[in-house]
Amino acid sequence: MAEPNTLLLALLFLAVAAGWVLGRGAASRDVADETAPPSQYYLGLNFLLDGEQESALKAFSEALAVNAETFETHITFGSLLRKRGEVDNAIKIHQSLLSRSRLPDVQKNQAHLELAKDFIAAGLLDRAEQLLKDLLELSEDHQLDAKSLLIELFETSRDWDQACQLTESQLSEADDGDPTQKAAAINARRKLSYYCCEAAEDRESAADLEAARELAQRALTWTEESVWPHIILARLDQLQDQPRRAYDRLVTAAKMSPERLPEFVDQLIAVSEVVNCREELTGLVVTLLSQREDPQLRVILADEYSARGDDGRALDIIKRGLNDKPSSRLLMQALKLLGEEVATPEVIEGAQKLVARQSAYLCGVCGFHGPSFYWQCPGCKSWDTLSRPTR
């Protein structure tokens, strides 16, 4: 277990002092706490002075009487401990709060919610799910929080059906006249589209292509902004011998989101060969590149020329990119095209290693970076926020 930091201990120290004073005044409301000895407080101080931070933390937590006045302090301790990864201690604090029969229902329900968060952090999803479902029955005040946490939980357990049901129920309760609720509703529709895509890919993996198609079509009804449903539908078209339809869908997707083209360019090239449209595809990339400078598109276009043996034109495309918006990927591509007359295999390999060392994807929300693409950021759980840095 990590050592508690000084700030947390200082907070505990002050809170125990204040809490104990308040607790004395409120002792008549919770007889069990009346006799809570302040000796734990002094014991904690001794541990702190001796540098035994873990023992000090435990003693301070035990010293603080639980009553309606100190309740928020306990909740804050528990939440801090959970955020520090000390989930076992957070669970102990919140379970101890729930065992107090004299606390008002509203505070018990809050402890209930915090305990559910602890269980989620500990990976005990079944227990968290039951707590949150109970809370939905018990408390009007915690409906919003409980539903949001349940949705997060269903995302984590990849239960897309339940995630959809709950998000749809949130959506039906939203008031479109309220600007905040309107924005939340737009966000909920986007999420529903992603859930349907996840479910569609699960069905596709299980070779249930009709169910996968139905889910991907449903994703399109929630929002027209995402290219993901088009990519899935195109894959299903290919599997069901409809290459022309697949090609058209992917071309639509490329025009909608040129920045996502690298994620499905291999699929688009393969299907363009089947329907004899490779030239047309090259023309599309030329058009997209004329609309926005993007080193990824430049590399795709250079590859298109190289594929038909026109390395001179490919090199020209890369050189222009190096001039306008240099990146290590473009430099590596240039070295590869210049070949052994200019760069030895070791130099090209070195450049490739340099490119590989840079993170291929970066989340625009939390800064998570890694070599693989995910529709949902593994760091902050936001959807469609990973992109390829253009450096």
Interacting residues toward Zn ion by CB under 5 A: 363, 365-366, 368, 377, 379-380
Q: Which is nearer to Zn ion, 156 or 267 (CB)?
A: 156
CB-based burial, 176-189: b 16+ in 10 Å, e otherwise: eeeeebeeebeebb
Q: Which is nearer to Zn ion, 24 or 381 (CB)?
A: 381
Question: How far apart are alpha carbons 365 and 215 in whole angstroms?
Answer: 28
Distance of closest approach, residue 373 Cβ to Zn ion, in angstroms: 13
Distance of closest approach, residue 131 Cβ to Zn ion, in angstroms: 27
Q: Which is nearer to Zn ion, 242 or 382 (CB)?
A: 382
Question: How far apart are alpha carbons 383 and 197 in whole angstroms?
Answer: 12
- Under a CB-based contact definition with an 8 Å cutoff, are residues 296 and 390 in contact? yes
Distance of closest approach, residue 382 Cβ to Zn ion, in angstroms: 5
Helix (H, G, I), strand (E, B) or coil at 275: coil
Distance of closest approach, residue 359 Cβ to Zn ion, in angstroms: 13
Q: Which is nearer to Zn ion, 181 or 382 (CB)?
A: 382
Q: State CA 238 to chain mean position distance.
A: 30
Report the DSSP beta bridge partners of residue 363.
386
Q: Which is nearer to Zn ion, 376 or 390 (CB)?
A: 376
Q: What is the dihedral of CA 8, 10, 13, 17, to 10 degrees?
A: -120
Q: Which is nearer to Zn ion, 85 or 378 (CB)?
A: 378
Helix (H, G, I), strand (E, B) or coil at 376: strand
Distance of closest approach, residue 83 Cβ to Zn ion, in angstroms: 17
Place of tokens 């200019």: 342
Distance of closest approach, residue 155 Cβ to Zn ion, in angstroms: 14
DSSP 369: E
201 token code pair: 């890919």
